[in-house]
Amino acid sequence: MVVAVLALAACGGESKQRADDPGRILTEQVGRGPQTAFIIRPDVEGPLPVVLFLHGWGATLPPNYRPWLDHLARRGNVVIYPRYQDSVLSPPDQVLGNLIAGTRLALAKADARPRSLVVVGHSAGGALSADYAAIAGQAGLPAPRAILSLYPGRSLRGVAASIPEVAPEEIPAATRIVALAGSRDTVVGTAPAQRIVASATRVPRGRRSYVLIRDPAVADHLGPQRAGLDSRRVFWERLDKLIVQARADRG
């Protein structure tokens, strides 16, 4: 599976699109089709630290998480948002290769500091955040300092098709891992988040944690996608703190 993913990631082209919003956040698009990636950054000179933001299944465009993306950019980050799929009908076994291809194009284009990389993902993107951490070195991409996996899942409950897993045992020891599950998440449940943390055995136990979110305002599957005060407190603030902590690590 790894060989197929890397072969798929070698494909892809580039096109450009840039726009300024009222908050002086710049957005640029590279690649095409499912290997598209969006680069979202503050209107300042770089190089800047980088966050890889992996969306949930079908949420292929930045407006699905725009308030959070802008928040990260205003905190001085380049945010890379790979599309990785054309639609909800995209073959699950192709999305990681698409993600790698789009991320590679975006990193080549963005004025970023790749060694500062932190990955955050929601739902399918939460599962893919662990896959990226496990395969990045083999793919010639920067290893993340940390991953925040929010309500991760590889398939809907009761659905056979799923995103293939890259063994979490391959995640490098220096990675910080935080995986969250929601007590009211009836879409993916809690098992995928628990598995990421339990199976990433190269990472010391003190650097990986599983958190069950019980707050009813955000414990459902779409809690991380909302931008209300509760979601900002539970998800945005946790990522902000993880970024600071991870980038303060030596190395």
Phi, psi of 172 (to 5 degrees): -60, 150
Q: What is the spatial distance between Cα 229 and Cα 173, in angstroms, rounded to a whole number?
A: 34
Q: What domains are defined for the chain?
A: 38-80+115-248 (3.40.50.1820)
Low-confidence spans in the chain with pLDDT less than 70: 1-23, 157-160, 250-251
**What pLDDT sits at residue 193?**
99
Predicted pLDDT of residue 160: 67
pLDDT of the residue at 38: 99
Query: How confident is the model over 211-245, as pLDDT tens digits?
Result: 999 999 999 999 999 999 999 999 999 999 999 99
Rg of the chain over CA atoms, in angstroms? 16
Predicted TM-score (pTM) of the model is: 0.91
pLDDT at residue 161 in the model: 77
What pLDDT is stored for residue 249 in this prediction? 87
Task: Quote the pLDDT of residue 156.
Answer: 73
Q: What angle do CA 85, 161, 136 make, to 5 degrees?
A: 50
Nearby residues of 166 by Cβ (< 8 Å), 6 or more positions away: 1, 2, 96, 130, 131, 134, 135
Residue 191 and residue 157 in contact, taking contact as beta carbons nearer than 8 Å: no
Token representation of residue 28: 């640029």
Order of strands, sheet of 25-30, starting from the edge strand that comes earlier in the sequence: 18-20, 25-30, 37-42, 78-82, 48-54, 112-122, 146-150, 176-182, 208-213
Q: How far apart are CA 106 and CA 212, in angstroms?
A: 33
